[in-house]
Structure 1
């Protein structure tokens, strides 16, 4: 909880990256199970359609809303001394807990779609996960270039763990590159953060 005058802050790149692993693994699992069903189109066509969907989904998710992210990065103000930086694990847990039913529904839809087009739905999910990872990596490059990490107020994220570019997000905060326990791009920091 933030002190008086401060706010809880979550890393933008961590919020973006939080969905990449579950989407990837659920997609791989759904594609693996789905390829066992012959489907209406047949396995070969299903895998080919899935490959196209994977590439398209990865590109669309990776490039979506980049102008909004760039605007937020450009207008970021320095975090105050009373702001509280949320741990990476807490941000990831909040996002995944808030989206668990959507993830389950997407997985079930991908499995159900395998009876029509084998493996395609799973590969689509995996492509979305890859796109989120690519977007987080892009954010990480922007953070390294600007020598500043980008944060968003936790209370501005929506109730499901949030989108860091949602309507409620009016501005972002920035800190030095060593702040928090996540590296640029939202991955785990391999070395201890400097104090």
Structure 2
């Protein structure tokens, strides 16, 4: 489950930083100083909102988690990340282009907003990883429930658990060291 959360962190973080860097080069309508200060505020707000949003839903699904059965289909980390990024590539490209275009009005602000959302997803994955490490389990979402890439959406009926060495993901959705 943390893999799905973490899958969006890098595709938001790096294009957000690139868009903010491009935006810092453009003077913009409001000026660089106002753009960078508002971008810093938007970064912090986006980080906090994304990191702590839907915490109650996640906690409820974790409390109701059951052991993965023989018939549950659970994907490898690499497959989950690839499918999430492939399914969201046009949204990510559109967000990057919108962030660069908005730099002509408020330099770097939208790029910092994207980077803040990516950082928030990373913080959320780290929090989930600490919970997994503390509970000594990995939380999974069945493949047919997470088709749209939302690990706590309405279609998710509950989480499944496995031992901490199952699959190729470490607690928090990171790659398992080899």
Corresponding residue to 1:184 among 171, 174, 177: 171
Matched, 1:55 2:44: yes
Query: Post-superposition shift, 1:172?
Result: 1.0
Query: What do the CA deviations read for 1:93-141 (whole angstroms, capped 9, x no partner)?
Result: 0000000011011101101110110000100000000000000000001
Aligned partner of 2:151 in structure 1 is: 164
Distance 1:79 1:64 in 2: 26
**Higher helix fraction: Structure 1 or Structure 2?**
2
Deviation at 1:83, TM superposition (A): 3.1
CA drift of 1:44 comes to 0.9
Deviation readout 1:40-63 (Å, 9 max, x if unpaired): 110111001000000110010000
Q: 1:86 aligns with which of 68, 72, 75?
A: 75
Alignment of 1:119-158 (within 5 A): 119-158=108-147
Cα distance change on mapping 1:163 and 1:77 into 2, 3 Å: same
Cα distance in 1 for residues equivalent to 2:97 and 2:62: 36
Report the TM-score when normalising by structure 2.
0.97
Give the superposed CA RMSD: 0.9
Aligned equivalents of 1:157 and 1:90: distance in 2?
13
Q: For this pair of structures, how many residues does the alignment match?
A: 178
Structure 2: stretches of 5+ with no match in the other structure: none
The one of 25, 28, 31 equivalent to 1:36 is: 25
- Deviating beyond 4 angstroms after TM superposition, the runs of 4 or more aligned structure 1 residues are none
Residue ranges of structure 1 left out of the alignment (5+ in a row): 1-11
The TM-score normalised by the length of structure 1 is 0.89
Task: Give deviations 1:52-76, integer Å, cap 9, x for gaps.
Answer: 0001100100000011111111100
Report the secondary structure of 2:20's partner residue. Answer: helix
Tell me how far 1:36 sits from its aligned partner. Answer: 1.1
